[in-house]
Structure 1
Amino acid sequence: MKRGALILCAFWAVIDASAGFANAPGSSLRPVARGQVAPSVIRPVSPDTVGVRPEVPKTNTVIVRRSLRPQARADRVKPRATQSLANPKPGSVCGDPAIMGAVVGDVPGKIKGCGIARAVRVTSVSGVRLSRGALIDCPTAKALKTWVDRGMKPAIGRRGGGVQEMRLFASYSCRTRNSKKGARISEHGKGRAVDIGAFILKDGSEMTVLKDWDNGRKGRILKEMHETACGPFGTVLGPKSDRYHKDHFHFDTARYRNGTYCR
């Protein structure tokens, strides 16, 4: 019996060795050099702790077993959050930090066809103030800013230290074109137009449409400003258009089938 048991044990030992060779790795595993292990990882092992599960230190960590969903924004917070996205700079309007002013809201008209939806009162554009607030809509305010940046400022350049103020003759006014009886409602009556008559420079000097349109260097600058407004605005009128615009530029954002109307 003892001999048979020994033979059986030897048989199973051969089987285990064969299985081990079959699952053996293709190359020998090399131990990681001690210098590559952080010192804090290397700890001496005590014979008394062999086979004992290490104790996990207690921390204040909170285990989240499911993803947290953000809470719905309170109704009282929504208007303020929306306004901060629309007006990135305090005092700015139309979502553009370069257009300063105040939100007015809807302006009803006294006669049919007049009025402004979501009106603003613009006080300065790209650092150039207006002599008084322009009551207009945002598309007109943005067109004015485009012209100031790409037309007016480059035309004047460094002359007199640059432009400090635009003298506003008119913005919103509920009336017909040129105040003629029976005529169509003016773009001024829709908040889509501004009339500018002069430009005050930082050194105190000024250029006026009435006096300087044909006055040498100043006249050339005014003509360049008039020309560069054609594009940002749909209608551009000046001294060459008619007797009603001898002393100012009329800019509005009305568009026609033939494109921009410039005179």
Structure 2
Amino acid sequence: PDPGPVLAPPAPLIVEPVDSQPLPPAGADPSSVPIVVPDVAGETVPPAEVVIVPVPAPVPEVAPSPVPAPAATVTTVPQGKTPTPAKAPALVEPEPARPETETLRALCGNPLILGRGEPTLVVNARGCGIAAPVRVWQVDGIRLDPPALIDCPTAGTIYEWLSHGGRRPFRNWGGGLAGLGISSSYNCSFDFGPPAERNHLHGVGKAIDVGAFILRDGTRISVFGGWDSPRWGPTLSRAVEAACDKFAVVLSPDAAAGERNAIHMDTGRYVADGYCQ
């Protein structure tokens, strides 16, 4: 049988002698015995002074004190009343409401008559209605307050009045005429008593009642208070005279069938040659 690999005998261990140091005599102080440390070159250097530094005792770890929770707020509720639960904060800031704007356009083929068209007001049992109504906000730069619901022929007549003498009497007062206070335009609530025809024209969009004239500085001249006044009476009378040249019928507060608080103007033809008073 194969005896296997033959192991080589181990190399002999060579121990070099080290220079021995003489032992200190019995009972000698160990600190008085010099310690010789060999340097790299084999020379001896005196030992450095040994300083003993005391090690502090370990400080035991202390767990941090817990932070006290804030005291709960207690709300007292009067006896007999149910507490109202607090509202949860909104996750999204609501957008501010946007103001509604009115888009105006030219009406009745005239760029100086501004407003909007309205749906047909079908003639009812009382005879009220407008086939092609318009809501007029401004005529020749003069605003109507509130906007007048009328037909186009009447809107055109208002333009003719204002642009040909209706605004002229106010040009030296408060910066001039800025608006008309409209007491009535389309209205089907009139009783059809005397004068029935005049009332009926409001029901078909062919009449307006002007209750005030508004100046650019904000002054409001009411027909009721200004017609008989020395200051405003002559001015209002000249505005009525200009209206008589354009409208079929104009009734001032002096007219027998007129009203004290408004000037009636319409485009009806129930009087052959027109009527102005």
**Under a length normalisation based on structure 1, what TM-score does the superposition of the two structures give?**
0.61
Structure 1 residues 98, 241: CA separation in 2 closer, same or farther (over 3 Å shift)?
same
**CA–CA distance in 2 between the matches of 1:108 and 1:158?**
44
Q: Which residue of 1 aligns with 2:68?
A: none
Q: Which residue of 1 aligns with 2:71?
A: none
Task: List aligned pairs for 1:178-189, cutoff 5 A.
Answer: 180=193, 183-184=196-197, 186-189=200-203
1:200 Cα offset (Å)? 1.1
Task: List aligned pairs for 1:185-204, cutoff 5 A.
Answer: 186-204=200-218
Residue among 220, 223, 239 paired with 1:209: 223
1:111 Cα offset (Å)? 2.7
**CA–CA distance in 1 between the matches of 2:250 and 2:195?**
23
Task: List aligned pairs for 1:72-91, cutoff 5 A.
Answer: 91=105
Q: Which residue of 1 aligns with 2:122?
A: 108
| 1:215 partner SS | coil
Task: List aligned pairs for 1:45-64, cutoff 5 A.
Answer: none
Which structure 1 residue ranges, 4+ long, deviate > 6 Å from structure 2? none
**CA–CA distance in 2 between the matches of 1:144 and 1:136?**
11
Residue among 155, 159, 183 paired with 1:169: 183
Structure 1 residues 182, 244: CA separation in 2 closer, same or farther (over 3 Å shift)?
closer
| 1:98 partner SS | strand
Greater Cα offset, 182-191 or 152-161: 182-191
Q: Which residue of 2 aligns with 1:118?
A: 132
**CA–CA distance in 1 between the matches of 2:226 and 2:195?**
34
Q: How far does the alpha carbon of each residue in 1:28-64 deviate from its partner, in whole angstroms, 9 at most, with x for none? A: xxxxxxxxxxxxxxxxxxxxxxxxxxxxxxxxxxxxx
1:113 Cα offset (Å)? 1.8
Q: Which amino acid aligns with 1:114?
A: C
Q: Please tell me whether the aligned partners of residues 111 and 174 of structure 1 are also in contact (alpha carbons under 8 angstroms).
A: no
Q: Does 1:226 align with 2:235?
A: no
**CA–CA distance in 2 between the matches of 1:143 and 1:161?**
24
Q: Provide the identity percentage.
A: 38
Residue among 228, 240, 249 paired with 1:235: 249
Give the total of aligned pairs: 174
Q: Which amino acid aligns with 2:274?
A: T
Q: Which amino acid aligns with 1:180?
A: G
| More helix as a share of residues | 1
**CA–CA distance in 2 between the matches of 1:165 and 1:142?**
17
1:179 Cα offset (Å)? 5.1
Residue among 242, 251, 268 paired with 1:254: 268
| Structure 1, unpaired ranges of 5+ | 1-89
Q: Please tell me whether the aligned partners of residues 143 and 179 of structure 2 are also in contact (alpha carbons under 8 angstroms).
A: yes
**CA–CA distance in 1 between the matches of 2:146 and 2:276?**
26
Q: Please tell me whether the aligned partners of residues 109 and 174 of structure 1 are also in contact (alpha carbons under 8 angstroms).
A: no
| 1:148 partner SS | helix
Q: Please tell me whether the aligned partners of residues 131 and 165 of structure 1 are also in contact (alpha carbons under 8 angstroms).
A: yes
Larger-gyration structure (1/2): 2
Q: Which amino acid aligns with 2:137?
A: T
Q: How far does the alpha carbon of each residue in 1:7-46 deviate from its partner, in whole angstroms, 9 at most, with x for none? A: xxxxxxxxxxxxxxxxxxxxxxxxxxxxxxxxxxxxxxxx
Structure 1 residues 182, 130: CA separation in 2 closer, same or farther (over 3 Å shift)?
closer
**CA–CA distance in 1 between the matches of 2:269 and 2:257?**
23
Residue among 155, 162, 165 paired with 1:151: 165
**CA–CA distance in 1 between the matches of 2:117 and 2:143?**
17
Structure 1 residues 160, 107: CA separation in 2 closer, same or farther (over 3 Å shift)?
same
**CA–CA distance in 1 between the matches of 2:195 and 2:227?**
32
Q: Which amino acid aligns with 1:226?
A: V
Q: How far does the alpha carbon of each residue in 1:98-122 deviate from its partner, in whole angstroms, 9 at most, with x for none? A: 0000011421234332111111000
Q: Please tell me whether the aligned partners of residues 130 and 204 of structure 2 are also in contact (alpha carbons under 8 angstroms).
A: yes
| 2:203 partner SS | helix
Q: Which residue of 1 aligns with 2:110?
A: 96
Root-mean-square deviation (Å): 2.2
**CA–CA distance in 1 between the matches of 2:125 and 2:236?**
35
**CA–CA distance in 2 between the matches of 1:181 and 1:110?**
21
Q: Does 1:140 align with 2:154?
A: yes
